[in-house]
Chains A and B, each alone.
Chain A
């Protein structure tokens, strides 16, 4: 029996089919016409000129921007029936957006083309709002496009708040030329273990160091394609590696070794404070797997936050006096900036030179970062201590290393500004700032021109301009990188769960000559938070003689 329908029925069905297709065609045409009529922009023939600028978020007004930045999407705070935005420069086709919504999402391809064509030119953003059926034209927003590119990737930690460990701590990377963000690591598979300070050698995404604390702790070392875990506690160092700075050639990495405590405060300016009970510096050699130090950087004082000069010959670091078993000496520590030369071939250290004397200047210095050309030093000054991220008074300063003169940057806000990093070409800096809600940090970029002037900073652009409205994570320690880091949480997890390689302590170091806390810890063991007076995390500390 045939499964086909009878012929007469077939005709009916064919007819119906044809009719149906024809109907669909008609519907489609109508829809297309409707779509086109709606999609076509309304021509603005007549508009009222307003003598003011519109408030937009993020604030991308009067900034200097690199030609390779992702679209600066924004939203207009003023309510209107219709929004019309024209983005133009001297060359190329303008971008015109007309819509009913205040969120201006710039097409990435056109944006990229426009910026590349107009290096060194002004970018005009003309905004029209339709209110009560009348178009209003507002003052144009003008930004400068510069030919100095931004180092294309940014690596940062994402942490929600600072008061407890969580399983949601992330290390992420973001392509600054678009909106791609990917995770490098998230500690969700490793209990609540904290991880901190990531560092790259000379912006090289293939040479990274990352330290994990608590569970499966160790320092992860990426060298080319090889990722390994180092067990960095030795009998002569008081703790595993801490704060980090990679030498530009990638062979040496300086670390602090610290015993720290976190205090909670009654201050609305500084909710909690991290202080060192003791800290020293060590230098790790990737090739030999040897950790070395010197009596000059392992003293009773508290050495911390290492930073290499771009030629790799000098190690800069901050240093505060010895902490005793009293609150004030630990809490109100004043950190000075020191430098010391190091010759890796002969493994010899020079003499310590004080670059910034905290007691003289009345401020504590932290987070020293030298510009790639070696001329400038960018740092934070705070009232006391070194953990600047929780100090509202933390501001960025620039020192001319030739003259030793320094000044506060105009780009600082009333809120916290800290954790900065130079771009590879030295023309940009990125820093963490709490200026948009006085609570969570976000990365801001500022252009550093040839005359040594910083320009108005702008926040890391996001695809959704409302991104920061309800975002509850801090962008922590933003670091520029030259390309994408070829790591993901799975690769890191495999390394984290590995046994790890023990580092070797340099046997040429005269251990008895060290006077630092490491020595004390080695000889006397650890005390359990002896003062027991204040609300702390209660870490042990080296016993004192």
Chain B
């Protein structure tokens, strides 16, 4: 008897041990898989996404000042922004930014696993990684607000907390109401609504009728009555803000893409719960469960998810978005050569790239050599971004006018940008510079005081604060002192850029940038008569005629059949290229459409622009989000 019993015991123990070992191996495998996935995501974020580009494009403000805190405290959703902007400060370095994201998104599968365990919902393990993949893919939009990730993360945590309590009815009611209120205030109505709906689902999925009824009633109160009360009595919100504000409302300058993916990520928790429930409704054959538990299946699932993730992350649009962000980043950081070559790498046209390319070649002194290397599809508008009639490019326009030494106009546009983003550091820095140039050191000090509330801007503050304390020091600063003398004398600012440039030249005829931009404007606008009338003046800076001017002269001579003395000064290279273009056209009976594919060698020439790219012939218009 004893022997038998001992045998039996030994046998049982062996089975348990075996199971335990198997379970440990499974956990170990899962742990390795999770670690690998997260490590992969980290590398991907660091090397491909580059969080610093997010930081640059969004300029997420965070300051220690009371004014800044109050601004966020006063608003529904404000504290969510405050918190995420705080975290975004880590994005100024790729390493810290990637670590921050990885820390945030690694909580998602953990909390989801706990929720599912508490609900006793059976799930293939790789489903846990769905939110990780979704979140990572969203970072391809360089305007993707981190607050969305933070709000979803907090939502997962809130539901996790609720899932511990929801079987104890009284506790769960109090917890649900409190969490709902907090989510509503911190992140807005949409997050709170998803929380309410998730709680409703959790309760409906239970077998206990009493719990189903009380929990469901609580949830229904949350998603209907509470937002109504919040709207009616507590918060100054519009109906859509009060009930369905799923995504943060940000200024037009931070226009992120509200894609399907973003909404799927937002609703991922209730969607996964519904999916789980649907799976549990159907009786899954034991064999299938065994298969699903098998490590090979788990591995395959992970691989499928990785493939989907890889596909999501390598959409051509993602590379395009990164190129635009990187070019803007490089331009802002005065890495002109890199910026212009990267802009040229991108085959699809982009207005911001066009703008940054133009600025980069101007800064490297190649404006009149390389201007048409980038297709100037919007003509004069790509030189003067404020002509678009949109606030979107206000800060770029402000920087453009700063280059032109048109400081007042630069300041107007910086103020316009400041209205949209009251604490944007790029704008504040621009206002420091413009105010110092214009001699208003008090105003410059105000903005420096704001910037001093963030240690990231310490060097900028330390550099310019002495100018505030001692305005005479500006004379020692080459950049600022050079710009002081250029403000036009006439009072009102003309509507047309060419008039503005003429005003700048009238004030300071040695303003080479203004001359070059004026002549380019005439060229882009097909106003070669005006180009010719300003030609002598514009030549004061050169020994020989710049290549681009030669091309304009050739077009002028050809189109007016005039016999200019100047034609002798035009280089043979330009003449040959121009003649070759005309010959090619002639070869195809001057049929522009047919000849086009054979004129690739001329794409960077003025005559090609006039025939194929100019908005005057293409009638292309930029559609802007005002």
Q: Which of A104-112, A134-142, A250-258, A436-444 contacts B (4 or more CB under 8 A)?
A: A436-444
The interface stretch among A5-13, A22-30, A183-191, A402-410 is: A183-191
Known: A161-B419, A438-B440, A469-B446. 11 other contacts (CB 8 A): A164-B420, A266-B408, A266-B488, A267-B491, A436-B442, A437-B443, A437-B445, A471-B67, A471-B446, A472-B422, A534-B495
- A533 interfacial contact with B, CB 8 Å: yes
Residues of B contacting A185 with CB < 8 Å? Answer: 236
Question: In the complex, how many angstroms separate the beta carbon of B399 from the nearest chain A beta carbon?
Answer: 17
How many Å from the CB of B184 to the closest CB on chain A?
15
Q: What residues on A are CB-neighbors of B344 within 8 Å?
A: none
The answer to whether B411 and A470 have CB atoms under 8 Å apart is: no
Residues on the B chain within 8 Å of A166, using CB: 419-420, 422
Report B523 CB to chain A, min CB distance, Å: 23
CB–CB B491/A490 < 8 A: no
The residue from B75, B391, B453 contacting A470, defined by CB atoms under 8 A apart = B453
Q: Is A190's CB under 8 angstroms from B67's CB?
A: no
Instruction: Give the interface SS of chain A, mostly helix, strand, loop or mixed.
Output: loop
Judge whether A189 and B236 touch: CB under 8 Å.
yes
Alpha-carbon gap, A268 to B435, bound state (A) = 10
Say whether A327 contacts B66, CB under 8 Å: no
What CA separation (Å) do A185 and B487 show in the bound complex? 39
A324 sits at the interface (CB 8 A): no
Minimal Cβ-Cβ distance residue in B for A489: B236
> Which one of B74, B232, B234 has the highest number of Cβ atoms from chain A below 10 Å of its Cβ?
B74
B233 at the interface (CB under 8 A from A): yes
* A437-B468 Cα distance, complex, nearest whole Å: 12
Contacts of B412 in A (CB 8 A): 163, 264, 271-272
B443's partner among A331, A438, A467, A535 (CB-CB below 8 A) is A438
What CA separation (Å) do A440 and B450 show in the bound complex? 14
CB distance from B77 to the nearest CB of A (A): 10
Taking the complex as formed, is A493 at the interface, i.e. its CB lies under 8 A from any CB of chain B? yes
Closest to B411 in A: A271
Q: How far is the CB of A472 from chain B (nearest CB, A)?
A: 6
A249 adjacent to chain B (CB < 8 Å):
no
For A490, give its contact among B235, B409, B415 (CB under 8 Å): B235
Cα A168 to Cα B418 with chains together (Å): 11
Question: Which residue of the partner chain B has the closest CB to A463?
Answer: B66
CB contact between B236 and one of A436, A490, A533, A535 (< 8 Å): that residue: A490
B415 & A161 in contact (Cβ 8 Å cutoff): yes
Which residues of the partner chain A approach B489 to less than 8 Å between Cβ atoms? 266
* Candidates B239, B409, B418; contact of A264 at CB < 8 Å: B409
**Max count, chain A CB within 10 A of own CB: residue among B409, B490, B492:** B492
Q: Is the CB of B415 within 8 A of A163?
A: yes
The residues of B that contact A527 with a CB separation of less than 8 Å are none
In contact, B446 and A439 (Cβ under 8 angstroms): yes
Question: Total interface residues on A, using CB and 8 Å?
Answer: 47
Contact with A along B462-498 (1 / 0, CB 8 A): 0000000000000000000000000111111111000
Q: 1/0 per residue B430-472: CB within 8 Å of A?
A: 0000010011101101110110110000000000000000000
Contact present for A470 and B495 (CB under 8 Å):
no
Known: A263-B492, A534-B494. A439 touches B67 (CB 8 A): no
Complex alpha-carbon distance, A436 and B442, angstroms? 8
Interface residues of A in 48-79 (CB under 8 A from B): none
Q: Report the minimum CB–CB distance from A534 to chain B (whole Å).
A: 5
Q: Once bound together, how far apart are the Cα atoms of A202 and B443, in whole Å?
A: 36
Query: Which A residues are in CB contact (< 8 Å) with B408?
Result: 265-268, 271
Number of interface residues of B (CB under 8 A): 49
- State whether the Cβ of A20 lies closer than 8 Å to any Cβ in chain B: no
CB-contact partner of B67 in A186, A470, A488, under 8 A: A470
Task: Assess whether A532 is in contact with B495, with CB atoms less than 8 Å apart.
Answer: yes
Cross-chain pairs A/B with CB under 8 angstroms, 16 sampled: A160-B418, A166-B420, A166-B422, A266-B488, A266-B490, A268-B408, A268-B487, A271-B408, A271-B412, A437-B446, A439-B442, A439-B446, A440-B446, A467-B67, A488-B236, A492-B236
* Given A189-B237, A190-B238, A469-B449: A264 and B492 interface contact (C-beta under 8 Å): yes
A42 at the interface (CB under 8 A from B): no
Q: How far is the CA of A264 from the CA of B488 in the complex (A)?
A: 13
- Select from chain B the residue with minimum beta-carbon distance to A435: B442
Instruction: Kindly list chain B residues whose C-beta atoms are within 8 Å of the C-beta of A472.
Output: 67, 418, 422, 446-447, 450
- Contact residues, B50-77 vs A (CB, 8 A): 65-67, 71, 74-75
Known contacts A266-B488, A440-B446, A469-B446; A188/B419 CB under 8 A: no
- Tell yes or no: B299 within 8 A of A by CB: no
B-side interface mostly = helix
Task: Establish whether residues A266 and B491, one from each chain, have CB atoms under 8 Å apart when the complex forms.
Answer: yes
Interface string of A505-545 (1 = CB under 8 A from B): 00000000000000000000000000011111000000000
| Contact flags B247-258 to A (C-beta < 8 A → 1, else 0) | 000000000000
- B241, CB-defined interface residue at 8 Å: yes
CB-based contact B492/A266 at 8 Å: yes
Interface residue? B416 (CB, 8 A): yes
Interface residues of A in 81-102 (CB under 8 A from B): none
CA distance A320 to B316 in the complex (A): 60
**How far, in angstroms, from A279 to B314 measured CA to CA in the complex?**
59
Residue numbers in A under 8 Å from B409 (CB-CB) = 264, 266
Number of A-B pairs, beta carbon distance below 8 Å: 130
Structural contact, B236 and A470, CB atoms closer than 8 A: no
Chain A residues contacting B440 (CB-CB under 8 Å) are: 268, 438-439
Q: Using Cβ atoms and an 8 Å threshold, which residues of chain B touch A268?
A: 408, 438-440, 487
Find out whether the CB atom of A470 lies under 8 angstroms from the CB atom of B422: no
**Residues on A with beta carbons closer than 8 Å to the beta carbon of B391:** 164
Residues of A within 8 A of B495 (CB): 532-536
Q: Which residues of B contact A439 (CB under 8 A)?
A: 435, 440, 442-443, 446
How long is the Cα–Cα vector from A533 to B494 in the complex, in angstroms?
A: 6
B453 to chain A: which residues have CB within 8 Å? 470
Closest to A268 in B: B438
Kindly identify which residue among B241, B438, B492 contacts A189, using a CB–CB cutoff of 8 Å: B241
Is there an interface contact between B234 and A490, defined as CB atoms closer than 8 Å? yes
Q: Identify B419's interface contact among A163, A189, A273, CB under 8 A.
A: A163
Shortest CB-to-CB span from A69 to chain B, Å, is 22
Instruction: Give Cα A165 to B419, complex, Å.
Output: 7
Q: Which of B419, B447, B494 has the most CB of A within 10 A?
A: B419
Q: Which of A432-485 contact B (CB under 8 A)?
A: 436-440, 464, 467, 469-472
Q: Please give me the residue from chain B that is nearest to A493 by CB atom.
A: B236
The 6 closest A-B pairs by CB, nearest first: A489-B236, A439-B443, A470-B449, A437-B442, A164-B419, A161-B415
Residues of B within 8 A of A436 (CB): 442
Q: What is the bound-complex CA distance between A331 and B493, given in angstroms?
A: 12
Q: Which residues of A contact B232 (CB under 8 A)?
A: 490
Residues of the B chain whose Cβ atoms lie less than 8 Å from the Cβ of A489: 236
Inter-chain CA distance A163–B397, complex, in Å, is 15
- Given A268-B440, A470-B449: A163 and B236 within 8 A (CB)? no
Give Cα A162–Cα B495 distance, bound, in whole angstroms: 19
Q: From residue 144 to 195 of chain A, which have CB atoms closer than 8 A to chain B?
A: 160-166, 168, 183, 185-186, 188-190
Q: Which residue of A lies closest to B496 (CB)?
A: A533
Contacts of B74 in A (CB 8 A): 183, 186
Residues in A with CB closer than 8 Å to B71 are 168
Q: Per a CB cutoff under 8 Å, which of B233, B241, B416, B449 touches A164?
A: B416
Residue in chain B with minimal CB distance to A469: B449
- Residues in chain A near residue B438, CB distance under 8 A: 268
B419 touches A331 (CB 8 A): no
A-chain residues with CB within 8 Å of residue B416 when the two chains form the complex: 161, 163-164
Contact across chains for A186 and B420 when beta carbons are under 8 A apart: no
If A437-B446, A439-B446 touch, whether A160 touches B488 (CB-CB below 8 Å) is no
The answer to whether A161 touches B418, judged by C-beta atoms less than 8 angstroms apart, is: yes
Report the Cα distance A471→B74, complex, angstroms. 16
Assembly CA distance A438 to B239 (angstroms): 40
Please measure, in the bound complex, the distance between the C-alpha atom of A162 and the C-alpha atom of B422, giving whole angstroms: 13
CB distance from B445 to the nearest CB of A (A): 7
Bound form: Cα–Cα A533–B234 in Å: 47
**Complex alpha-carbon distance, A264 and B481, angstroms:** 24
Closest beta carbon of chain A to B426's beta carbon, Å: 15
